[in-house]
Amino acid sequence: MDIKRLALIGALAICGLCTSALAQDNDTPIPPSHSWSFSGPFGRFDLAAARRGFQVYKEGCSNCHSMNLLHYRDLSGIGLSEDQIRTIAASVSVPAGLDDQGNMVSRPALPADQFRAPFLTEHAARAALNGALPTDLSLAAVAYPNGPNYLYALLTGYGEPPAGTKLAEGTSYNKYFPGHQIAMPQVLSDGQITYSDGTVSTVAQNAHDLVTFLAWAANPEMDQRKRLGPWVVLYFVLMAGATYLLKRKIWSSVP
């Protein structure tokens, strides 16, 4: 894991701890536990769900949220082919510098490019979104305490505010957001996504798939680590046994 990724994890973790503390102050309920294929020492990513989750991100979340640590070529990790990746990359335009007249020009993205950011600068994002700054989602699944469950609860926690609650202008009520007033409107709805594998699109399904994709994005090497882990443990067990037998042999002649 590179230094940039570690630094961003640290910064987001601090934000997550602050969010957790604020949640306690506002009596925000603890997100309920959800079933994830990647949970536990032997869990694995459901790549079909991750592919659907990328579709949810691409068709909805990418309009506001960046994923600056991902490149289009990384999508091979969820089972997309080179041709599919090239097609996805070419469907968006990325900045290509200035032309001879000093005007900003763009070009179709390549697999080696980072995911296109929806806004060129933080100021542009705030100007377009009434002062709100959408978070980068590259490490969202590990930045918050109980990350996947929190994100799922947040995505499905929208509803009508309790009687007597007055929302600030431009905010929506969310049961699991600290303070219950969130600048992000409800972005998921039943039937909004047409999945190529025929999966029925519901808010719960979309949220589950999106969180699976975000968990993969934050830990793309997790499956490899978990496959390697038992062999590492077995190696240390065998080495411990060999060391013990060697020790007994060396000291067997000592009275």
Residue whose entry in the numeric block shows the structure tokens 């046994």? 241
pLDDT of res. 27: 72
Cβ-count burial of 25 within 10 angstroms (0-12 exposed, 13-18 middle, 19+ buried)? exposed
**Mean pLDDT on 175-186:** 94
Contact 77, 216 (CB under 8 A): yes
pLDDT, the chain, mean: 88
User: Does residue 14 surpass a pLDDT of 80?
Assistant: no
Query: Residue 20: pLDDT above 50?
Result: no
Total-model pTM: 0.82
Bridge partners, residue 174, by sequence: 158
Mean pLDDT of 186-198: 93
What is the biggest distance separating any 2 CA atoms in the chain, rounded to whole angstroms?
91
Helix (H, G, I), strand (E, B) or coil at 81: coil
Which pLDDT value is given to residue 230? 84
Kind plus residue range of the DSSP H or E element containing 249: helix 222-251
Q: What is the pLDDT of residues 88-142, one digit of tens each?
A: 999 999 988 877 888 888 999 999 999 999 998 999 999 999 899 999 999 999 9
Give mean pLDDT, residues 133-157. 95
